[in-house]
Chains A and B, each alone.
Chain A
Amino acid sequence: MATTTLSKDAVFLLNAVDISDFVDTVTHTESADSLDVTTYGNDGHRKRGGLTAGTIAIGGVYDTTASGPHTVIKPLKGTVVPFDWRPEGTGAGLPASTGNVLVQNYVESSPVADIVRWTAALEIDGDVTDGDQSA
C-alpha cells in the first residue's frame, strides 16, 4: 500500500530563511534537454538526455511582519540564492533537495474579497543535490 504524506509539514528555505509559515504551495519541476541522436538504420527516433534544468514555483499568504515574503523575497529578485526544499518536513533521514535558484519573479495579488497573496518563480541554477537530512 502507498504511504502518503501530508503537505502541511513541508519546509521551504530561501536564502537560508525558513519562509514555510507564509507558503502554501511549492511545485518543484526538474527536467533534461531531449537530444535527438537518430542515425541511419533506426526505425524510431533515438534520444539521449542533455543539460538539466528546473523551476520551483512557490506561493502563499502575504504577511506584514519583517520576516514576511514582501521583506524576504522581493529584494532577492534577479539574484541567485540557495534553496532547501524538504517535502516531508525537517528531521533526520527525511529527504531534502538543495541547490541555488535565480529569483526570476515575485508577484503580489490582492482580490478585494480575499487576503493578499504572493507567488514567486525560481529558476534552478546548476545542479540540485538530493539527499537525506542529517541528525
Chain B
Amino acid sequence: MNLADVMDDLAGALEDIEGLRVYPAPADKVAVPAAVVGWPELYEFDSTYGRGVDHLQLPVFILTGRVAERAARDILGAYCDGSGGKSVKDVLEAASYTAMASVRVASVVFDAIAVNSIEYLAAAFTVDIYGSGS
C-alpha cells in the first residue's frame, strides 16, 4: 500500500458526507465541521509471506464546535451513527478503494482535541485497513 494514496482514498470517501470539510492529512488549521485523516497508529508489514498483505490502523477525526458548545454534541452524534448519510462508519465501509483491499471502522472514542491552540470536540474513529504489501 502507498500511505498517501490510502489517506487520499479515505478523504475521497469522506467528501461524500454533506457539509464536512475534509483534510487528507493532519492540518495546521481546520474549519469545522471537519474530517481529518490522521497518521497511522499501527502499520504492520508482512501479514502474509512474499509481501502479500500489510495491515494498518489509522484514526479519522471528526471535529466540531468548541468543547463548551452544547450543540456540538448533537452535531457530532450524527457522524457516529451506525448508518445514514452522515455516518462515518457507513460511508467509509461502503466506498470503493484502489489503494487498499478492505476497510473497517472498528471503534470511536470522544475527546477534546486542540488544533492551532483552539479546542474542538472530537470523535476519533479507528479505521482498520488491509492491503497489498507491494
Contact = CB atoms under 8 A, between A and B. Distances in A.
Interface of A: 7-12, 18, 20-24, 60-61, 63-64, 113, 115
Contacts of B50: 8-9, 11, 18, 20-21
B20 interface: no
Contacts of B49: 7-12, 20-21, 23-24
A24 B51 CA distance: 10
Interface of B: 45-53, 101-102, 106, 130, 133
Contact of B52 (A21, A64, A113, A115): A21
Contacts, number: 44
A63 B133 CA distance: 14
Contacts of A8: 45-46, 49-51
The 5 closest A-B pairs by CB, nearest first: A21-B52, A20-B50, A20-B49, A8-B46, A24-B48
Contact of A61 (B45, B48, B51, B106): B48
Contacts of A24: 47-49
A9 to B, nearest CB: 7
A82 B51 CA distance: 23
Nearest to A90: B50
Contacts of B48: 20-24, 60-61
Contacts of B101: 63-64
A24 B52 CA distance: 9
B43 to A, nearest CB: 15
Nearest to A116: B102
A85 B21 CA distance: 51
B44 to A, nearest CB: 11
A115 B46 CA distance: 15
Contacts of A60: 48
A20 B51 CA distance: 9
Nearest to B106: A113
B111 to A, nearest CB: 23
B6 to A, nearest CB: 16
Contacts of A113: 106
A23 B50 CA distance: 9
Contact of B130 (A7, A10, A20, A61): A61
